[in-house]
Amino acid sequence: MDGSSDIEISALTGIDAIQAVDWDALAAPETGRPADPFTTHRFLLALETSGSVGPGTGWSPRHLVARREGALIAALPLYVKGHSQGEYVFDHSWAHAYERAGGHYYPKLQSAIPFTPATGRRFLTREGDEGIGQAILTEGAIRLAVQNDVATLHVTFCTETEAQAGEKLGLLHRIGQQFHWQNDGYGNFDDFLAQLSSRKRKAIRKERRQAQAFGGEIECLTGDQIQRDHWDAFWRFYQDTGARKWGSPYLSRAFFDEVQNHMRDDVLLVMCRRDGRYVAGALNFIGRDVLFGRYWGALEHHPCLHFEVCYYQAIDWAIRHGLARVEAGAQGEHKLARGYMPVATHSLHWIGDPGFRNAVEQFLTQERDAVDEDIEILTSYGPFRRGGEEVD
């Protein structure tokens, strides 16, 4: 590979093996708030320090770093996985098919942010080294897989640019779908509502009235406004949601302490308090231009409170703070009626077995056509006004 002979690549068994300033020079080179809080050293360290990933979790760090003459030029968050949980790009059918054919699908290599279905850069490269950086990291990850008899490598929720470059490097490109809200320069929430059809606009106003009649108040907290008692309450919400969705929560209680200590400026907590106690809440992470909705939970059921806290409060906060987008996590066609439109997500895959690779490649071609059609149909059913419709 041209220009790569003087590059050394190595695998780290923990993010603490590298200085935050060095990693973040690649992951978050922006001045001020990072574009993506999830690839920062502090977020990955919070996962590892809290025991949310590491021994006993099925997520073993093997982060790749590439250096030229001792200077870090590229890095890849990477894990050895013993299962397919906490990824949100589902490959369970691939695993079952390969194992029925006599192969061993696990362990696998996974470049991802654990438990975080948010699009962002995975190939973290120094400016000017984007091409060689992605190529050398891909080569290094595949070499690591081959040397350890690992059958597959997956890079999930990467950017479209990375996906296109990965295809040229011989990786398989998979397309998925999420729902994102886009800020069209709105001055306030009513400006957003004015762009919706009359029926959808009235439905959202009704939902907001119902939610806000839950008998308490809604607080939006960030930075030093967040106190440890907020995390005590949110942990109870998160445990309830985790138990219902996954059987047990992915994140440990200590993770939220790490966030309080090192990341509270990256967080927006939307908390609902009634009769002096917190009864529901949502956790969001703040990017440079994006608000990332992550977790919701409640100890009491109140009509439409979930929609208000997770979707409408996020939209309102994003408008007031000039953010371009709200990403509300994986799945959920119910988001469409609330202004969140379908968008494509991207992942890359390497499969060592030629026969299995061919089968997956055929599957991905069919799946891509179905996803493209689904996005087109869902977009046509979006809640926005058609030309000529009056605003009431």
CATH architecture of the domain with range 184-323:
3-Layer(aba) Sandwich (3.40)
Q: Would you list the domain boundaries of the chain?
A: 7-176+343-380, 184-323
CATH architecture of the domain with range 7-176+343-380:
3-Layer(aba) Sandwich (3.40)
334 DSSP assignment: G
Residue by residue, pLDDT tens for the chain (392 residues) are 455 679 999 999 999 999 999 999 999 999 999 999 999 999 999 999 999 999 999 999 999 999 999 999 999 999 999 999 999 999 999 999 999 999 999 999 999 999 999 999 999 999 999 999 999 999 999 999 999 999 999 999 999 999 999 999 999 999 999 999 999 999 999 999 999 999 999 999 999 999 999 999 999 999 999 999 999 999 999 987 766 665 678 999 999 999 999 999 999 999 999 999 999 999 999 999 999 999 999 999 999 999 999 999 999 999 999 999 999 988 788 999 999 999 999 999 999 999 999 999 999 999 999 999 999 999 999 999 886 555 55
Which token pair is 144?
A: 């690591």
Rounded CA separation 57/87 (Å): 13
* pTM of the predicted protein model: 0.95
One fold for 7-176+343-380 and 184-323: yes
Residue 318: name the closest of 220, 226, 197 by CA: 220
In sequence order, which residues have a C-beta less than 8 Å from that of residue 292 and are 6 or more positions away? 37, 38, 118, 284, 285, 286, 326, 327, 329
